[in-house]
Structure 1
Amino acid sequence: MQRLEHMQHLDKHLVDELAHVARESVRAELREQTRGQRRKAALYAGSGAAALYAGAAVALAVGLALDLVLPGWAAALVTAVILAAVAFALRTVARPNTPGAAATGVTGGTKATGSAAVPPVPSTPPTVGTDHTRGDG
């Protein structure tokens, strides 16, 4: 009987040791993956900051070029309108489809923009004749 209790104690100890080794192995693997992802995120952040400054330099160059032919305020206004149009186009491309939109993104022959304010276009024009919706016959 004492030998059986001793074996159970050894089994429990072995299971605890294996669980500990498995936890440590998983922790080490997660640490390694996290370290790589952290480095990649830092590189993306640096890339985004550099792109932001590059975009600002391009906007400044456009404004200065327009300033040669327009007054300063008009050049700044034209540059702002160009940047707003680019921002709007990028937002429109990045916006996900609306929940009821078709999977292809085409509704009624026009590209879906994600706006619910535009009604769908019927595929056939209405026919001229008696209006059955009013009940006059």
Structure 2
Amino acid sequence: MKRLDHLEHLDKHLVDELAQVARETVRDELHRQAREQRRKAALYAASGAVALYAGAALALTVGLALAAGLPDWSAALITAVLLAAIAYLLRGAARPSRQDAVQAPGGEDRVPGGTPPAGPPGGLGSVPYPPMPPTAPGAPEAPRAEGTDPEGPHHRA
């Protein structure tokens, strides 16, 4: 029997070591992936900042070019209107309109050529959250008049 007890201790020790190695491997991989993601995020942020300054320089160039032939205030106004129109068009291009969406056979909206939007987790179908109870759990019930059905008419057979 002592021999079996010794083997059981070795099995437990082996399982603990394997679990520790697995944890360290997963942790190292997550750290590596997080470093890569942080690097990508920093590059995207820098790209966005440079693009913002490039857009400002372009807007200034357009304003100065218009100011060569027009009064300064009207050149600035025309530049602002142009930028507002571009922003509106970009906003419209960023999200599909209701006319572009096609009703999928399952009742979900689908963008042409795309996949249907993912439903809520838990398989609740089209309900985005579970139904709320009429009263808070543990709260005292409101007094009812005698002879009334507590379940309401929708539960009667």
The one-letter amino acid of 2:6's match is: H
Identity %: 68
Shift of 1:82: 0.5
Match of 2:87 in 1: 87
Deviations 1:8-42 (A, max 9, x none): 11101100100000110111111111111111111
The one-letter amino acid of 1:49's match is: A
Shift of 1:96: 4.1
* Pairs within 5 Å for 1:54-133: 54-98=54-98, 101-102=101-102, 103-104=111-112
Which has the higher relative contact order, 1 or 2, with Cα contacts under 8 A spaced 6 or more apart? 1
Structure 1 runs (4+) greater than 3 angstroms displaced: none
With the length of structure 2 as denominator, give the TM-score of the two structures.
0.62
- Structure 2 residues without counterparts, runs of 5 or longer: 103-110, 114-157
With the length of structure 1 as denominator, give the TM-score of the two structures.
0.71
Deviations 1:24-74 (A, max 9, x none): 011111111111111111111111100000000000000011111111111
How many corresponding residue pairs?
105
Q: Relative to structure 2, which stretch is displaced further, 31-40 or 57-66?
A: 31-40
> What is the aligned-residue RMSD (CA, Å)?
1.9
Seen in structure 2, the aligned counterparts of structure 1 residues 22 and 96 have a Cα distance that, compared at 3 Å, is farther
Match of 2:31 in 1: 31
The one-letter amino acid of 2:22's match is: A
Match of 2:46 in 1: 46
- Structure 1 residues without counterparts, runs of 5 or longer: 106-137
